[in-house]
Structure 1
Amino acid sequence: MDALTRLHRSLVGGDDEDQPEDSILADTEGLCSLSPVQRIYAFGACLVAGLALMILSFIVFVRPIKFAVMFTFGNILAVGSTAFVMGPQKQLRMMFDPVRLYATAIYVGCVVLALIFALWIHDKLLTLIAIICEICALFW
Structure 2
Amino acid sequence: MEKMSHAFEKMKMLVGMEGEDYHQQPAIEDGNSFSFMDDFNSHCTLTTKQRFYGFAICFVAGLTCTLLMLSWSVLYGSTAFLIGPKRQVSMMFDPVRIYATAIYLASMIIALFCAFYVHNKLLTLLAIILEFGALIWYTLSYIPFARSMVSKIMLSCFDTEF
TM-score (norm. length: structure 1): 0.48
Structure with bigger gyration radius: 2
Task: Tell me: higher relative CO, structure 1 or 2? Use CA pairs within 8 A at least 6 residues apart.
Answer: 1
TM-score (norm. length: structure 2): 0.42
